[in-house]
């Protein structure tokens, strides 16, 4: 595209001829419940690409060649579009995004948070890691940034070795509601050290944030930690620049500070959390 036409198109956008690209991309991320770092921007206008890089550095931007006939090859060779694994959650992504829109409409029509959560008719299934779900667990650990307490990343092989560790507690959570099966959306890894259970990783898909899933996951960990003789939980919050969302998660859940960035929960002096908004599910 000639450079003067590119400049004119950008000037028209700035005068209100089209929504600002920054606002458009931000709105897309918000509507899908994903971070800006999950977006890839493609445009034949080099000025638009430069604008996105400057204003939204989290967004991935594809550089296109000058010859339009080479666009298809450029996209086909782009590494970020390669599929390492394909999970059930990937295959159901469109349905899940449609369900998210329905959930948001329901949220707007309900008076209180309790009413909203109850009306979702949620059910959860929590289980230790297994071979069938390892690809999804590794995928979720590799791409989750917002609700991620420590930023730990593990390969399938590392997770497989973890499954054989007698001192490790490893849990995944699947969630469904009246609209859809959200699939595997949360992962928690703990390690026993004497009477202490260290939370090494705790993460959750941003698609189900705000549904009290974290309370359910914590209660499951408490039950399993107590069953193997642990008296306390200890968790850490490690800032990454992307996980500000969970900065206050531990104090909100009743943990007390136990050093810089560390929080502890006494399992012998706590009241089990009520889990009235999420029912149990056999996972089938």
The ranges assigned to domains in the chain are: 3-81, 88-280
Per-residue pLDDT tens digits for 238-252:
999 889 999 999 999
pLDDT at 124: 94
Domain 3-81 has CATH 3.40.50.150: no
Percentage of the chain lying above the pLDDT 70 cut: 83
Beta strands 232-236 and 196-204 are parallel
Cα of first residue to Cα of last residue in the chain, in angstroms, is 53
pLDDT at 3: 38
pLDDT band with cut points at 50, 70 and 90 for residue 274:
low
Asked whether this chain's domains 3-81 and 88-280 adopt the same fold, the reply is no
- How many whole angstroms separate alpha carbon 88 and alpha carbon 84? 14
pLDDT at 12: 47
Per-residue pLDDT tens digits for 121-158:
999 999 999 999 999 999 999 989 889 999 999 999 99
- Rounded mean pLDDT of the chain? 84
CATH of domain 88-280: 3.40.630.30
Percentage of the chain lying above the pLDDT 90 cut: 44
């Amino acid at each position: 595209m000639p450079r003067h036409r590119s400049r004119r198109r950008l000037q028209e956008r700035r005068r209100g001829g089209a929504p600002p690209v920054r606002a458009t991309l931000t709105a897309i991320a918000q509507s899908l419940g994903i971070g800006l770092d999950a977006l890839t921007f493609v445009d034949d206008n080099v000025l638009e690409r430069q604008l996105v890089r400057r204003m939204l550095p989290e967004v991935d931007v594809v550089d296109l060649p000058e010859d339009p006939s080479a666009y298809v090859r450029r996209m086909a060779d782009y590494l970020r579009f390669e599929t390492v694994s394909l999970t059930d959650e990937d295959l159901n992504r469109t349905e899940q995004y449609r369900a998210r829109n329905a959930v948001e409409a329901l949220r707007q029509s309900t008076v209180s948070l309790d009413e909203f959560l109850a009306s979702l008719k949620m059910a959860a299934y929590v289980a230790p890691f297994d071979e069938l779900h390892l690809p999804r667990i590794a995928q979720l650990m590799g791409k989750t940034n917002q609700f991620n307490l420590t930023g730990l990343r593990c390969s399938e092989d590392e997770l497989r070795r973890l499954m054989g560790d007698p001192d490790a507690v490893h849990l995944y959570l699947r969630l469904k509601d009246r609209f859809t099966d959200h699939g595997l959306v949360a992962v928690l890894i703990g390690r026993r050290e004497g009477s202490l259970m260290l939370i090494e990783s705790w993460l959750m898909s941003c698609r189900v944030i705000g549904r009290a899933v974290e309370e359910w996951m914590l209660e499951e960990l408490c039950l399993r930690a107590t069953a193997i003789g642990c008296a306390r939980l200890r968790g850490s919050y490690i800032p990454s620049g992307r996980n500000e969302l969970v900065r206050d998660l531990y104090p909100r859940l009743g943990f007390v500070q136990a050093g810089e960035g560390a929080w502890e929960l006494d399992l012998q002096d706590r009241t089990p959390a009520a889990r009235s908004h999420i029912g149990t599910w056999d996972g089938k």
